[in-house]
Amino acid sequence: MRFSFPSRFCTYRPRKTASFLLMAGISFSACVALPVQAQTAPQKPDLSAIQTVVVIFAENRSFDNLYRGFPGADTSANLSPETFQQKDRDGSVLKELPPVWGGLTGRGIPNPITQAMTEHLPNKPFAVDDPKGFNVPLNTLTHDLWHRFYQNQMQINHGKNDMFVAWADTGAMPMGYWNGSHMKMWKIAEKYTMADHFFMGAFGSSFLNHQWLACACAPYYPAADTSPAHPSIVVADKTGTALLIAPNSPHSALDGVPKFVRDGNLTPDFHAVNTMQPPYQPSGNKPAEGQDPRFADPARPTTLPPQTTPTIGDRLSEKNISWAWFSGAWQHVQDHGNAYPMPDFQYHHQPYNYYANYAPGTAARAQHIQDGGLNGVRFKEIIDSGKLPQVSFYKPQGNLNEHSGYADIESGDSHIADLVSHLEKSPQWPHMLVIVTYDENGGLWDHVAPPKGDRWGPGSRIPAIIISPFSRQHYVDKTVQDTTSIIKFLTERYNLRPLDGLLNRDKSIQASTGKPLGDLTGALLLPNQTH
């Protein structure tokens, strides 16, 4: 007998299957073409099986920084040395990496790795936790790095990714990576789907990438040139993608941190791309004297005026889809104040606190900006009770978000893995989709070139793990996606009016890659889906 099997059959242990059939006297062609009617464009999957969506948004890690060597993924572990060599500011190849300026480890470390100990590193990625090297474990604080809008574009260097050291403030630090196989989330990623061509939605900062998750847009500061924020308008070069270098900037990355004519938070046409503070409390800017205590002082240069651009939250509300942004320690900080090292709440990680639709006193604020509880306790209680809204965004408090400088990897990894465990046991789990990803790369090197998009991104590659009863298991999804893909999935699932930023990004990715921006569905096997 002879049988023909569809090509998808080959994906799952074809050799063992072939041996079994041959032993039975059956010959076959495992990957021959299907009949013509089966080769037509696949039917768009019915997303109605997904009834609960949860987005967990961690902080500041590139794919190669945490998932180097992940099975089946495109990682720097497979590169030849010349592929990842970093160049100096004049375009020449660096003879070695500069030291990590200020030392590798952060505040409060008993046996710090000093700057002198990081001198003369070879021009290649280095393992931060190598027992024969720096031997820094996953529970250690390392120094923060620049992760800013223009610097990220300068580091990417038109997709060559060879100037991460040249345009950094920490010398060699962008080239550091960890053995992520010790992480709990690595094991979870192996079980479900890892997306290895998923990029941060916007270049640079946490502030902008949180805004991108909300609106797929860069916030705007009207008349910034006549406002208190005027000194924060950058001086960019003629390309509009890089900062103008100051005459007294060190010529080489080996000599020190670069200097610019004027770095800042606003583009020359007044879009906010680096950290600005919310106009409403809790905010990094206190109220002005005599002002409504629920507001931030508008005269402070870093207070962003209330935004009015439509968000994905607005679009969900239009269709009466229940949703909430759950923020770890949200209520704790308002009741007790903020503190380092715990909870180290980050005000600029709360995107809906920037929007007039969610201003203090509005019903929308009370409904949609929710307390996740100190250490995420309240969020876990809601998960366990089966009372999550149809769409949930969860932001861990600062000490649990994995951000270099003030958070370690291990604490955040354990926290997120614990959340996943609760989600898997939730009454809502049978119809749930969970996306665990990072806001941006934190200034850390990654070798995969982002696709050419629009003015705002996408930026560097970041990890994204798709977790669901419908996820392909033990799978690596190579579809080109970015943070906007989350918005795209929600728009398709709930038949929402698309945001302008989504339409623009989808169009730009189509032009760049020949395919539309991915929408997460490549990671799923849904009941009616043509595989």
**pLDDT tens-place string over residues 265-300:** 999 999 999 999 999 999 999 999 999 999 999 999
| Cα dist from 492 to 48, 61, 435, 498, 499, whole Å | 10, 28, 16, 9, 12
- What is the per-residue pLDDT for 106? 74
Instruction: Give yes or no for residue 40 having a pLDDT over 50.
Output: no
Distance in angstroms (rounded) separating the CA atoms of residues 372 and 415: 13
Q: How confident is the model at residue 43 (pLDDT cuts 50, 70, 90)?
A: low
Q: How confident is the model at residue 42 (pLDDT cuts 50, 70, 90)?
A: low
Instruction: Give yes or no for residue 7 having a pLDDT over 60.
Output: no
Average pLDDT in the chain: 92
- What is the per-residue pLDDT for 346? 98
Whether the model clears a pTM of 0.85, i.e. scores above it, the answer is yes
Q: Which residues contact 246 (CB under 8 A, 6 or more apart)?
A: 259, 260, 261
Distance in angstroms (rounded) separating the CA atoms of residues 412 and 410: 6
- What is the per-residue pLDDT for 111? 83
Instruction: Give residue-wise pLDDT tens across range 362-411.
Output: 999 999 999 999 999 999 999 999 999 999 999 999 999 999 999 999 99
Q: Say how many C-beta atoms besides its own lie within 10 A of residue 293's C-beta.
A: 10
- What is the per-residue pLDDT for 528? 76
Instruction: Give residue-wise pLDDT tens across range 481-525.
Output: 999 999 999 999 999 999 999 999 999 999 999 999 999 999 999
Q: Which ranges in 86-244 belong to alpha helices (H)?
A: 149-156, 184-191, 206-215
What single-letter DSSP state applies at residue 195?
A: E
Note the residue count of the chain: 531
Instruction: Give yes or no for residue 85 having a pLDDT over 70.
Output: yes
Q: What is the mean pLDDT of residues 38-47?
A: 63
Check if the beta carbon of residue 409 is closer than 8 Å to that of residue 354.
no
Check if the beta carbon of residue 351 is closer than 8 Å to that of residue 341.
no
The two three-digit tokens of residue 491, written as one number: 């728009």
- What is the per-residue pLDDT for 361? 98
- What is the per-residue pLDDT for 283? 98
Q: How confident is the model at residue 211 (pLDDT cuts 50, 70, 90)?
A: very high
Three-state secondary-structure class, residue 270: coil
The two three-digit tokens of residue 27, written as one number: 């010959």
φ, ψ of residue 54 in degrees (nearest 5): -125, 125
Distance in angstroms (rounded) separating the CA atoms of residues 414 and 391: 23
Instruction: Give residue-wise pLDDT tens across range 311-341.
Output: 999 999 999 999 999 999 999 999 999 999 9
Q: Which long-range contacts (CB under 8 A, 24 or more apart) does 226-231 make?
A: 228/298, 228/299, 228/300, 228/301, 228/303, 229/265, 229/266, 229/276, 229/301, 229/302, 230/301, 231/264, 231/301
* Domains detected in the chain: 2-35 (no CATH), 50-72+180-282+295-523 (3.40.720)
Q: What is the mean pLDDT of residues 296-315?
A: 98
Three-state secondary-structure class, residue 389: coil
- What is the per-residue pLDDT for 530? 54
- What is the per-residue pLDDT for 12? 33
Give the burial class of 155: count Cβ atoms within 10 A of its Cβ; 0-12 exposed, 13-18 middle, 19 or more buried. Answer: buried
Instruction: Give yes or no for residue 35 having a pLDDT over 90.
Output: no
Three-state secondary-structure class, residue 76: helix
- What is the per-residue pLDDT for 28? 35
- What is the per-residue pLDDT for 5? 33
Q: How confident is the model at residue 65 (pLDDT cuts 50, 70, 90)?
A: very high
Q: What is the mean pLDDT of residues 100-123?
A: 91
3-state SS, 469-503, equals CCECCCEEECCCEECHHHHHHHHHHCCCCCCHHHH
Beta bridge partners of 437: 57, 464
- What is the per-residue pLDDT for 45? 82
- What is the per-residue pLDDT for 468? 98
Give the burial class of 37: count Cβ atoms within 10 A of its Cβ; 0-12 exposed, 13-18 middle, 19 or more buried. Answer: exposed
- The tally of CA atoms less than 13 A away on the side-chain side of residue 156 is 28
Q: Say how many C-beta atoms besides its own lie within 10 A of residue 2's C-beta.
A: 7
Three-state secondary-structure class, residue 81: helix
Q: How confident is the model at residue 22 (pLDDT cuts 50, 70, 90)?
A: very low
